[in-house]
Structure 1
Amino acid sequence: MFLYVFIAGLSVVIDQLIKWWTVQNVELYETVFNNPILSLTHIRNSGAAWSILEGRMWFFVVITLVALTILPYMLYKHRNESKWLTIGLSLIIGGTIGNFIDRVRLNYVVDMFQVELFNFPIFNFADVSLVVGVACIFIYILFFENKKELGE
């Protein structure tokens, strides 16, 4: 379990450090490190991805508390299964906590990574942890879960 707590914790620490650095060094709505692929733009997001449900902080707090009750239980229950599943759950927990800290402390989430290749919402490291975690779980479901059920 130590590995999974470490992964979740490291995800939170990296997320919060990047957000702290962004707030300290980049003015709100300012873009720095602008290049053709990725730039850094400091924004505040009071909603979820694509700013959906903007201003519904109570909703995000409730959903996050439910998730942070269920996800650690699932991680503990499946701790001896595939690393794809357990690392995925750890990353999702870390990403959830990273954004939850912002929502509770600031009433918004600090976002900064802007993809320049195509139009995509600005996001943060916690969001990356969430997406990578979900991708790990999809890999587990697609390639490993059925083998476990079939006894292979």
Structure 2
Amino acid sequence: MKKNRLFWIIGILGLIFDQITKFWIVQRLPQVGDTIPLIRDVFHLTYVINTGAAFSFFSGGAFWLRWLSLGVSLGLIAYGIFGPKMKLTEQLGYGFILAGALGNGWDRFLLGYVVDFLDLRLIQFPVFNFADVFINIGVLFLILATFPTKSVAKRRN
């Protein structure tokens, strides 16, 4: 765990944050569909049950998505343990993806669905949660990781 410390920190703290926010929403908004406008008609907290993937894609696919989440999580954990020392951007990328996969996977296994609540109404965007955000942030970091660093670019010239 020392080898890729930031990967583990992001993965664990992201999972905890995701689960705390989902718990808070379920406690604060007891009925599915309940909403709290933070900025009326722009951004609300709306309690939604999602049986699909991120942003409600593959609705009704919770059964196979739980196994996908588990497979991704176990693969990332194995990579963090047995893989090489990762670059900073890779640790951030894989850590955020691990947090998101664990957060939504946890919901799928325990509840049979994912709790979503971040509701961007201004652009008619599907309701989502922090695990979805973390996965997207992770992908962005992994895209950044593909670009050569300045020292690599200098050596090529």
Q: Same fold, TM exceeding 0.5? A: yes
TM-score w.r.t. the length of structure 2 is: 0.84
1:91 shift after superposition: 0.8
Cα separation, 1, equivalents of 2:93 and 2:55: 23
Which residue matches 2:25?
22
Closer, same or farther: CA 65–151 of 1 in aligned 2, 3 Å: farther
**Equivalenced residues, count:** 150
Q: Which runs of 5+ in 2 are unaligned?
A: none
* % same residue: 29
Which residue matches 2:61?
56
Q: How does 1:14-93 map to 2 (within 5 A)?
A: 14-26=17-29, 27-35=31-39, 36-76=41-81, 77-79=83-85, 81-93=86-98
1:142 to 123, 126, 147: 147
1:116 shift after superposition: 2.4
Question: What's the CA shift string for 1:42-96, capped at 9, x where partnerless?
Answer: 00000113423222222112212221232223334243x3211111101100110
Residue identity opposite 1:52 in structure 2? F
- The structure 1 segments of at least 4 consecutive aligned residues displaced by more than 4 Å after TM superposition are none
- SS where residue 22 of structure 2 aligns? helix
Residue identity opposite 1:18 in structure 2? T
Q: Which runs of 5+ in 1 are unaligned?
A: none
| Superposition RMSD in Å | 2.4
- SS where residue 33 of structure 1 aligns? strand
Cα separation, 2, equivalents of 1:55 and 1:73: 29
Cα separation, 2, equivalents of 1:72 and 1:128: 20
